[in-house]
Amino acid sequence: MQVIDNGRALSGKQQRIAERRGQIIAAARICFRRHGFHGAGMAEIASLSQLSVGQIYRYFVNKEAIIEEIVHRIVKHRIQLMLDNGNELSRMADDLTNDGLLDGADADINQGLMLEIAAEATRNPRVARILCEADAMLYRQGCEMLQRVYPQMSADRAAVLAEMMAVLCEGTALRVLTHQQKTDRAQLYQLYMRIFTTVFPSGPADG
Amino acid sequence: MQVIDNGRALSGKQQRIAERRGQIIAAARICFRRHGFHGAGMAEIASLSQLSVGQIYRYFVNKEAIIEEIVHRIVKHRIQLMLDNGNELSRMADDLTNDGLLDGADADINQGLMLEIAAEATRNPRVARILCEADAMLYRQGCEMLQRVYPQMSADRAAVLAEMMAVLCEGTALRVLTHQQKTDRAQLYQLYMRIFTTVFPSGPADG
């Protein structure tokens, strides 16, 4: 079986490395979700990924490197979904209203992991750096997409709108946890549409 | 010294209980911040609060009860700040732009604790319940405040606006962690003011 990564065909050796890393990431996601970043030990991650602890250290130098890869994959996925969405206003309002957001099937797990990692970032500068770099990547892609969709938009304006969208997406994702309020979803959708049509230029994005 | 709690003078015994609970909460906040909810043990909380583990269990039946009290105090503080703010639009836009938000001096610590607790809520239903109840209280007070400030506003409309404000506040608080983007703050302020003047009735709130 040939594995394709980023459009390139991988050699046999690269393929084995990619598979091993995938196994470790899958196991680590489960362990971090179960016990938090501190509670999850390399021994358990090794056992779940059916590798030895020594083998794991061949692929990731420490737990932070595993976190970095987890965050990187989540953000890559979110960028893809954001680009698919193409700043279509009604789709963004729908996502915000229905807690759909940017994560698809793994939304709950990814959101739990990102919270775990954000909590760790408040006390661990290396994890904070990982989170900052990932956010900068997502943010830059958001700005670039806005300028593609609205060619007249200035870079400053795109930056401010990207920041507002990031705030709305992350706030909504956080509130999914406690979201038992009796907010009328149709009215919330209307409110977001009102906001978007006010602050985004009317133009090619919303057909 | 007489301690006043919620406007009531406390008896000597109640006063001692309030002091002990305060000591334990202060110690637990430090421990949870240092090691996360799982890493923080009752022994360390006891040692930091200069009490025995047995004494702690007289005031809190378990770690969840300590979390409940921490969340309760943070939310009480946030409700007070929200009520002080009185839905003055320019003040809200300023808070969102300058990451001021609702927490004053302890903002970073409270935000870190709330992230920790939110991460724990994704795997611990008792903690999820604590967070939901606290959020419901904050949300209800937000709705009531809006209806006091805008007497013509329907309950449904107040609920939707309270939800939007909660999303903006929580999203902004979460993004403080990674907030190194070069967003122009003056433009972000203008954007939030544009949103608020569009969705809030023009009326008594903004003088």
The vertex-A104 CA angle with B195 and A130, nearest 5°, equals 75
pLDDT tens for chain B, residues 1 to 207: 455 555 567 788 889 999 999 999 999 999 988 888 877 889 999 999 999 999 999 999 999 999 999 999 988 888 888 888 777 888 888 888 876 554 566 777 888 888 888 988 888 899 999 999 999 998 999 999 999 999 999 999 999 999 999 999 888 888 887 765 668 889 999 999 999 999 999 755 443
Distance from C-alpha of A38 to C-alpha of B21, rounded to nearest angstrom: 27
Shortest distance, CA A10 to any CA of chain B (angstroms): 34
**Which of A33, A161, A174 lies at the smallest CB-CB distance from B118?**
A174
pLDDT digits (tens, 9 = 90+) for A163-179: 999 999 888 888 887 76
Question: Residue B200 region, left (φ>0) first, then alpha (ψ -120 to 50), else beta?
Answer: beta
- Write the DSSP symbol of residue B159: H
pLDDT at A9: 72
Residue B177: CB atoms within 10 A of its CB come to 22
Amino acid at position B125, single letter:
P
How far lies A182's CA from each of A167, B175, B200, in Å?
22, 26, 20
Tokens of B113: 């604790």
In this prediction the ipTM stands at 0.85
Q: Which of residues 105-134 of B touch A (CB under 8 A)?
A: 108, 111-112, 115-116, 118-123, 128, 131-132, 134
* Pairing label, strands B4-5, A4-5: unpaired
Average pLDDT, chain A: 85
pLDDT at A175: 86
Q: Which residues from A are below 8 Å from B35, CB to CB?
A: 38
Amino acid at position A45, single letter:
I
Distance of CA A43 to the CA centre of its chain: 27
Residue B53: CB atoms within 10 A of its CB come to 13
Q: Which residues from B are below 8 Å from A172, CB to CB?
A: 167, 171
pLDDT above 90 (res A197): yes
Phi, psi at A204, each rounded to 5°: -70, -15
pLDDT at B91: 87
Band (pLDDT 50/70/90 cuts) for residue A100 is low
* Pairing label, strands B4-5, B8-9: antiparallel
The vertex-A78 CA angle with A73 and A81, nearest 5°, equals 130
**Which of B35, B167, B199 lies at the smallest CB-CB distance from A38?**
B35
Task: Determine contact, residues A101/A78, Cβ cutoff 8 Å.
Answer: no
Q: Quick one: closest CA in A to B114, which residue?
A: A119
H helix or E strand, kind and range, residue B174:
helix B155-175
Q: Which residues from B are below 8 Å from A175, CB to CB?
A: 135, 163, 166-167, 170
Q: What structural domains does chain A harbor?
A: 1-60 (1.10.10.60), 62-202 (1.10.357.10)
Longest dimension (CA), chain B: 57
Task: Determine contact, residues B67/B117, Cβ cutoff 8 Å.
Answer: yes
pLDDT digits (tens, 9 = 90+) for A120-147: 888 889 999 999 999 999 899 999 999 9
Q: Which of residues 187-206 of A touch B (CB under 8 A)?
A: 187-188, 191-192, 194-195, 198-199
Q: Quick one: closest CA in B to A37, which residue?
A: B36
